[in-house]
């Protein structure tokens, strides 16, 4: 691994020419630190919030400290999205989503996250005859991040509630439960 603050990749290249071993020097690119604070819906710093940083196919996670602070180091310059989720003592989930663009040559970027009550999707499933469908698994998948999914199962009246959703668009899918 490279020096602190440098992206976590390296390549060693050597080859022989006319009986001599030659080495190719590959400069490392300095990564960017993404840091900030997480505040709950009351505006207070929140400890224990799980934060995901998504940049292309790269995914990192951190947890906020006792002062609500978090930091990701050695992040490549690119557009990023931060997802934060916290399941509070009251049973109410809180979440936040923020976008930022990391520009090469920048040492650090501050992105603060203000939690709000997580969203939910409610619905009712009926068959073509209008009868409720019991026991069907309904899955919500975030349109911009297929790793963000939540599920619920319909009750006898065909009702379902999918909780703990981040702000954004979702696609719903059905999958019959095994009998």
Residue-wise pLDDT tens digits, 54-82: 988 778 999 999 999 999 998 989 999 99
Cβ distance 154 to 125 under 8 Å? yes
Please report which confidence band the pLDDT of residue 30 belongs to, taking 50, 70 and 90 as the band edges.
Answer: confident
Q: What is the CA angle 12-17-20, rounded to 5?
A: 80
Looking at residue 166, what is its pLDDT? 81
Tokens linked to 46: 């929140």
Looking at residue 74, what is its pLDDT? 87
Residue 97 has pLDDT above 50, yes or no: yes
Average pLDDT over residues 38-62: 91
Q: How many CB atoms lie within 10 A of CB 171?
A: 11
Q: Where does residue 107 fall: left (phi above 0), alpha (psi -120 to 50 degrees), or beta otherwise? A: alpha
Three-class DSSP category at 27:
coil
Q: How many CA atoms lie within 13 A of 47 on its CB side?
A: 4
Tell me which residue of 82, 86, 101, 12 sits closest to 44, measured CA to CA: 86
Which residue intervals of the chain are DSSP H helices? none
| Bridge partners for 20 per DSSP | 17
Please report which confidence band the pLDDT of residue 178 belongs to, taking 50, 70 and 90 as the band edges.
Answer: very low
Looking at residue 118, what is its pLDDT? 83
pLDDT > 70: percent of the chain: 84
Tell me which residue of 92, 115, 106, 111 sits closest to 167, measured CA to CA: 115
């Amino acid at each position: 691994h490279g020096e602190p603050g440098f992206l976590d990749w390296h390549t060693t290249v050597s080859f022989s020419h006319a009986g001599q071993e030659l080495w190719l020097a590959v400069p490392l690119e300095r990564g960017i630190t993404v840091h900030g604070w997480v505040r709950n819906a009351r505006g207070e710093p929140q400890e224990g919030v799980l934060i995901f940083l998504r940049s292309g196919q790269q995914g990192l996670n951190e947890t906020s400290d006792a002062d609500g602070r978090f930091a990701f180091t050695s992040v490549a310059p690119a557009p990023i999205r931060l997802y934060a989720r916290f399941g509070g003592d009251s049973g109410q989930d809180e979440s936040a989503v923020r976008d930022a663009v990391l520009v090469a040559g920048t040492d650090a970027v501050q992105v603060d996250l203000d939690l709000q009550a997580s969203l939910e999707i409610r619905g009712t499933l009926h068959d073509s005859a209008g009868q409720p469908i019991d026991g069907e698994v309904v899955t919500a998948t975030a349109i911009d991040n297929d790793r963000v999914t939540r599920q619920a199962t319909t009750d006898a009246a065909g009702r379902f509630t999918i909780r703990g959703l981040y702000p954004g668009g979702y696609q719903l899918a059905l999958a019959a439960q095994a009998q």
